[in-house]
Chain A
């Protein structure tokens, strides 16, 4: 069964610290992997999209990595800010024409 698992479920860090969120997937065939940020009460917003041939992609303080061999991805947040408090959702796209598969998300809380 195609699944996307994220860890940890939740995380609390101090402002200014770095953190890494994990995503493992069993989707096959694989097309691309996306990370979304969802603020409370808002819709998800795309951070990065990586295809099979890409193993890292950055968007400001956010850096995503992808290991297609082990079917793992991570999202690294550098020098966290209070505004980084949100849910981060890993999403995998399989073959063309099939639905996106969403992880349950990791809830990040950044405290001062």
Chain B
């Protein structure tokens, strides 16, 4: 978790409300990722960023949007939360300096979101 913080850590909200989750890193890593983790599934990629203002969709991007205005911050927004978006959300970062041919991803502590 070192160098990556997520806020809030826990949130309960109602269906139809907008929600923004924040990921902040102090590692100056170029790449940032948002994943969700649900029982019975491996971590699934929602969106990722390969630089300031450069983002792209992942496997499960429907209902989510992201923004990255600074290297250190990556925001995940649920425009209108639904119960199916109840999950644990993890942010991850990755440098662009390959060591031994691969980059390692580092994960934040997670945000537990409950949509009622």
- Interface set of A (CB-CB < 8 Å, partner B): 4, 31-32, 34, 41-46, 49, 51, 89, 93, 99-105
Q: Is the interface of B mostly helix, strand, loop or mixed?
A: loop
Partner of A44, one of B41, B100, B101, B107: B107
Inter-chain contacts of B58 with A (CB < 8 A): 99
Inter-chain contacts of B107 with A (CB < 8 A): 43-45
Partner of B90, one of A32, A43, A99, A101: A43
Partner of A4, one of B42, B45, B59, B106: B42
- Do B43 and A102 have beta carbons less than 8 Å apart? yes
CA distance A44 to B92 in the complex (A): 10
In the A-B complex, the 6 residue pairs with the smallest Cβ-Cβ separation, listed nearest first, are A102-B42, A43-B107, A102-B43, A32-B102, A99-B45, A44-B107
CA distance A105 to B40 in the complex (A): 9
Inter-chain contacts of A89 with B (CB < 8 A): 42-43
Closest A-chain residue to B108, C-beta based?
A43
Closest A-chain residue to B50, C-beta based?
A97
- Do A104 and B109 have beta carbons less than 8 Å apart? no
Inter-chain contacts of B4 with A (CB < 8 A): 43
- Do A42 and B102 have beta carbons less than 8 Å apart? no
Inter-chain contacts of B59 with A (CB < 8 A): 99
With an 8 A cutoff between CB atoms, is B54 at the interface? no
CA distance A64 to B107 in the complex (A): 21
Inter-chain contacts of B102 with A (CB < 8 A): 31-32, 49, 51, 93
Report the minimal beta-carbon distance from A15 to chain B, rounded to whole angstroms. 26
With an 8 A cutoff between CB atoms, is B1 at the interface? yes
